[in-house]
A = this chain, B = another copy of it.
Amino acid sequence: MADSFDVTPWNVDGKVDYGILMKRFGIKPLDQELLDRIKRHTGELHPLIRRGIYFGHRELDWLLDMYEKGEKFYLYTGIAPSSDMTIGHLVPFMITLWLQQKFDADLLIQIPDEEKYLAGRRKGAELDEFHGLAKKAVLDIAALGFDPKKTRIFLDTEYSKTLYKQAVRVARKITFSTVKDALGMGNDTNIGMIFYTSMQAVPSFLKSVMEGKKVPCLIPLGVDQDVHFRVARDVIEKLGYYKPAIIHGKFLPGLSGDSKMSASKENDAIYLDDNEETVRKKINKAITGQQATAELQKKMGGNPEKCMICQYYKFLFEPDDAKLEQIFEAERNGTVLAGEHKQDLARRVNSFLDEHRKRRDAVKARIDEFMERD
């Protein structure tokens, strides 16, 4: 069964086939023509784009039409933490940062601190616990280098005077039937979860509300979040705003080979607070898809697409395409053993985390420059 996987905002099951997913969701490919068009404006392409990790879109062509006619867009992305942040959580923010810099775009970042509470994560945990995780997430996000003058970050529970009023306008135009089918809800779904999708829709037109005119919006997101906007895009248009454009990213796979790094499986995920030793240990246990013995590996080679080490280089830890190709080549030819790759990757990850935490410490004192609160 090629189709035996499932992708929802709350769960990713099975081995994701992104080609099938595009058809299932009705997402268009980020094809060469679009890549060339982006490049005309940005001069280069971010590795996450040119390597096909950001692979799909909705109406990016329209957004670029508007941009080329002189109508600037703003960006909107977000995350709903149910744990401390992993390196996988950073991927959408990295592409968002790059887009902010290249297109000089304003950015709204929503941290829905109620979502995972409503979804019943962390059994028994109170809303305050998710609020605390959200506040930590803000530091990790700001540490990436967003421009505070162009970036507003908000937690739903701190900004709901603004958000709820607009969410009500969205909610009025979405029936239970719609969320039932699209989001897989049922009689046993709680009424907060049912309403929540309208809260997530708001930032995609909020700037238009505030400026009193239609402003185009681009949402970079992990493809599991697409469904919220499949539901909301038509509604947003009915409310008198532009439908937001979207670009869709693949998931950073888990070290154990899961399609999406799972923050709830300890050895699957690298947390931003993991220490050197932990990172080394986790990477050592990673799935590499190599042959059973060193001898066999040398003889038959491995498959970089199935090797998590190679994938981590590709997603985050080797920006140079030529060097990445060397790494992949060595994997294919069996000229490098897993242990060497693992050691090298662990060094890079630890160096990245080290840098990240320094930047996070530095941003802490001025985090209020980013925050939007009612």
B-contacting residues of A (Cβ < 8 Å)?
A: 114, 117-118, 120, 127, 156-161, 163-165, 167-177, 179-180, 185-195, 197-198, 374
Contact = CB atoms under 8 A, between A and B. Distances in A.
A114 B191 CA distance: 17
Contacts of A194: 176, 191, 194-195
A160 B165 contact: yes
Secondary structure class of chain A's binding surface, majority of residues:
helix
Given A175-B188, A176-B187, 4 more contacts: A127-B169, A164-B164, A170-B192, A174-B191
A286 to B, nearest CB: 36
A188 B174 CA distance: 9
Which among A118, A167, A190 has the highest number of chain B CB atoms within 10 Å? A190
Contacts of A170: 192
Contacts of A171: 118, 190-193, 195
A198 B118 CA distance: 13
23 contacts: A114-B164, A117-B168, A117-B172, A118-B168, A127-B169, A156-B164, A159-B161, A160-B164, A161-B161, A168-B192, A172-B192, A174-B191, A175-B188, A175-B190, A176-B176, A176-B186, A177-B188, A179-B191, A180-B187, A191-B198, A192-B198, A194-B194, A195-B195
A169 B157 CA distance: 11
B374 A161 contact: yes
A168 to B, nearest CB: 5
